[in-house]
Amino acid sequence: MTERTASNSSDLFDCEAVFCDDYLHFYGPHLSPEFNLQQADVVWRLLSISADCKVLDLGCGHGRIANELARRGARMSGLDSSPFFLNVAREAARREELTVDYVEGDMRELSWRHEFDAIYCWYTTYGYFSDTENIEVLRQCFNALKPGGRLLIEQANRNALLRRGLPFTEVTSRGDDMMIDEVDYDVFEDRTRTRRSMVRQGKVSRANFSIRLYSYAELAARMVRVGFSSAEGFGRGGQPFTTYDPRLILVARK
Ligand SMILES: C[S@@+](CC[C@H](N)C(=O)[O-])C[C@H]1O[C@@H](n2cnc3c(N)ncnc32)[C@H](O)[C@@H]1O
C-alpha cells in the first residue's frame, strides 16, 4: 500500500500519456464490435433510452458506444478532452453516416443546461480528479439533465478489487509490444495508483494515473447531495449490484 500523498488533479492522472494511440493499440483487440454492442445494450437498458432521447456520452473516447447508440436512433452528443480520440470517433461516425455531436471539453465544466434525457460516464471514466472535482462533475451532469433525466456512472467495484489483493501487476501484450500496469492502492484516499510502462517496437514510454474508487454508498450519497432524487446500483451486466461484482454501475434520477 502506498504512503499518504497530497491530491492534486494535475498529477493524479496523466491523461495525455494514457489516452493516445497507445491506448487504442493495446485495448483495441479487447474492444471488439461484439464487446461494444454488449456494453451499449447495458447502457441503453439501464438508462431506459429510446429512439429520439437526447443523450450525452461523457468522456466518450473514440466513440465506440456513442456511435452504436446513434445507430439505434438516439440523438447523441459525445464530450471528451482528447482531440485525438474525438477525431477517431468523428471519422467512424462519418463512415457510417451517423450523426453525433462530438465536442472537445472538460467534464468539470459543461455548458449545457436542461438539455439531455440521459448522460453516461462509462468504462472507468469517473474518479480521475480530487473528491471536490469529482463531485463537481456530478453537479455539472445534474445541471445538464432535463427534469426526470438519468445519469449513469460505471467504475471498478472497490470491494471486489480489494478482495483480489493489491498491489498487483497486469501485463497486456500485442505481438512483441507490451503494456505493464503496476497497480497499488492508497488506503488513505481510496484511490488506485497505477504506474504504466509501454514497450512498442522496442521504445519504452511511461504514464501514471490514479482513480478514486467510491463504494456504492459513497457515490449514491454524493449523487443525492448534488440534487438527484434517487440512485440505484447494478453490476457489470446490468443485474442488481452485489459486493462480488467486478464493476459498480450507479444510475441516478433527477
Ligand atoms: C477509459 S477512457 C473511456 C472512453 C469511453 N467512455 C469508452 O467507453 O470507451 C476515458 C476517457 O475519458 C476522457 N477524459 C479524461 N479526462 C477528461 C475530462 N476532464 N473531460 C472529458 N473527458 C475526459 C479521456 O480522454 C478518455 O477518452
Within the chain, where are the H helices?
A: 9-12, 15-18, 21-27, 33-46, 66-71, 83-96, 131-144, 158-164, 216-225
Cell of 101: 455531436
Residue 232 CA to ligand 1 center (angstroms) comes to 23
Q: Which residues of the chain have pLDDT under 70?
A: 1-10
Residue 244 CA to ligand 1 center (angstroms) comes to 26
* CB of residue 36 inside a 6 A radius of ligand 1: no
For the entire predicted model, the pTM comes to 0.96
* CB of residue 149 inside a 6 A radius of ligand 1: no
Whose C-alpha lies nearest to ligand 1, atom 26? Answer: 61
* CB of residue 68 inside a 6 A radius of ligand 1: no
Within 72-206, where are the H helices?
A: 83-96, 131-144, 158-164
Residue 114 neighbours by CB under 8 Å, 6+ apart: 143, 144, 145, 146, 147
How many other β-carbons are positioned within 10 Å of the β-carbon of residue 226? 18
Tell me how far apart the alpha carbons of residues 239 and 54 are, in angstroms, rounded to a whole number.
Answer: 24
Q: What is the pLDDT of residue 6?
A: 37
Q: Are the CB atoms for 67 and 92 separated by under 8 Å?
A: yes
Q: What is the pLDDT of residue 10?
A: 57
Whose C-alpha lies nearest to ligand 1, atom 14? Answer: 59
Whose C-alpha lies nearest to ligand 1, atom 18? Answer: 106
Residue 188 CA to ligand 1 center (angstroms) comes to 25
Whose C-alpha lies nearest to ligand 1, atom 11? Answer: 59
How many other β-carbons are positioned within 10 Å of the β-carbon of residue 70? 22
* CB of residue 15 inside a 6 A radius of ligand 1: yes
Q: Please determine, looking at this structure, whether the domain spanning 19-156+214-253 carries the CATH number 3.40.50.150.
A: yes
Torsion of CA 134, 135, 138, 144, to 10 degrees: -100
Residue 80 CA to ligand 1 center (angstroms) comes to 6
Instruction: Give Dmax over CA atoms of the chain in angstroms.
Output: 53
